[in-house]
Every structure is written in structure tokens, then in C-alpha cells.
Amino acid sequence: MNLHVSTYNIHKGFSQFNRRMMIRELRDHLQVLGADIIFLQEVQGLHSRHAARFEDWPEEPQYEFLADQVWPDFAYGRNAVYDHGHHGNAILSRYPIVRAENEDVSHHALERRGMLHCEIELPEIAQHLHCICVHLALHERGRRHQVGAIIERMNREVPEGAPVVVAGDFNDWRNRAGKRLEEDLGLEEACRDHRGKPVRTFPSSFPVLRLDRIYVRGFRVRHTHVHHGPMWRRLSDHAVLSAHLQLE
């Protein structure tokens, strides 16, 4: 079975430097992307101030608006909660999500983070696909704590031999998270450059930092792509990563 997965930090539906609300253009571009499963970070579940300010602000939550009948199943993990709303991670899927759970992996109260874990039923596959969507902390200590939480959860919740995709914004420019995931869980970095390093994804206008990742287990990576340039850089400060996978 072939599977196309993507990960994208959508910057709460705003362009770089928050100049324009881009959620409708973002939906169009995601549909052109055509992924089977999309891992999204910085998804606005509710924001009453934006809803009052922008006439074309969607009535439904962003994850539901972006799914728009193309991805019939979706899950949302609410992480940061404030007086006027909340945001977090989301997974959109063409295939049924049979279980979803969001685990709080915050390292301190000022930077709320979560790990959204979904089990997805793929056609003609006995075991469920386990998908984990993350947005790790800005500080190294917080990232170490959160990578440890990913390892603990997978050892606890994912059956041996089940296919796995872990994706999101890792904020991991030193590539310390990737080494732990490879050594402790046997995950493979899907998107590498010609030197074998994670690809650059930030900022989308001219990617310099290696922040966004897709890790897999139980798949052969057929090919990958970093979506940036004029068409994408208006939508968010991150580039989109895509990986075409074949189940082993």
C-alpha cells in the first residue's frame, strides 16, 4: 500500500509576520497537495477576537474548515488555552480515525504543548496505523522532556510491528531529537537532504533551519518533497513537508 503524508505548521492561518489571514488560501493549497494524511500544528480551534475582526473568518474550527469533505476524518488536540480561544495540533485523514487521544507534554505552564496520537484504519491492513502529531518546545530542556514522552507513549501504546508516522514541528535545529527517536524506537527520518541531514523548512521564504520532520517505521520511503517558494511562502512561515511511503 502507498501512502502520502504531509506535515505543516500553519501559523494559526496567518501569513509571515501576521500580515494577512490566509486560511482560505491555505485550504485550497492543501487540497492541491493531495495528501492522504496531514499533520498540522498551530491550528486555531477557537479565537473570538479574530472572528470579530475578520468578516471571512470561518465559523467552524480551522481543522474542520480545512478538512472540507476532502479528509472525512479529523482529530484535534487542544493545547494552549486562553480567554479568547485555544489552539493545538490536528490530523486530517482520508481513512477512518478509530481512536484519538491528546497527551499533555508541557514542560512548564508558559509553553503549553501536546502530543496528538491517532490510530487510523487503512484498507486491507490488519494493524492500525499509529500517527503522532507534535509541536515541540522552543528550549532544549523542554524538547528532551517531550521526546522522552514520545518514546514512553510508543513503548506503551503501539504494538510491535504496527506501522508508525511521527510528524510535526520539532524545533530541533541540532537534530538531537532525531537521534533519540532512531536509537530508541527504530524510527527513520523520511525527509533528508543529499548529505543525509534533515531538510531545511524555516523560514518558508528561504529555508535555513531544519525544524519540521517526518519519522516513519514499517514503511519504505519512496520520495519526499519540501514545498516552499512563491506559492507557499505567503501562507505560513514554515514550509510543507511531504513523504510518499510504501508499506513494508
Region 82-111: mean pLDDT is 94
Alpha-carbon distance of 156 to 70, in angstroms, equals 32
Higher pLDDT, 242 or 232: 242
pLDDT given at position 191 = 95
Domains of the chain: 2-247 (3.60.10.10)
Q: What is the pLDDT of residues 36-49, one digit of tens each?
A: 999 999 999 989 88
Give yes or no for a contact between 244 and 8, defined as CB atoms under 8 angstroms apart: no
In this structure, the number of other CB atoms found within 10 A of the CB of residue 126 comes to 7
- Which residue is it, cell 493531495? 34
pLDDT digits (tens, 9 = 90+) for 193-223: 988 899 999 999 889 999 999 999 999 999 9
Rounded to the nearest integer, the mean pLDDT of the chain is 93
Of residues 131 and 57, the one with the higher pLDDT is 131
The pLDDT of residue 17: 63
Q: Which amino acid does the sequence have at 86?
A: H
Q: Structure pTM?
A: 0.95
Neighbours of 244 (CB within 10 A): 18
Instruction: Say whether pLDDT at 104 is over 70.
Output: yes
pLDDT digits (tens, 9 = 90+) for 57-85: 899 999 999 999 899 999 999 998 898 98
User: What DSSP element (H or E) covers 82?
Assistant: strand 73-82
DSSP per-residue string spanning 12-75: GGB-GGG-SB-HHHHHHHHHHH--SEEEEEEEEEEEHHHHHH-TT--SS-HHHHHHTTTS-EEE
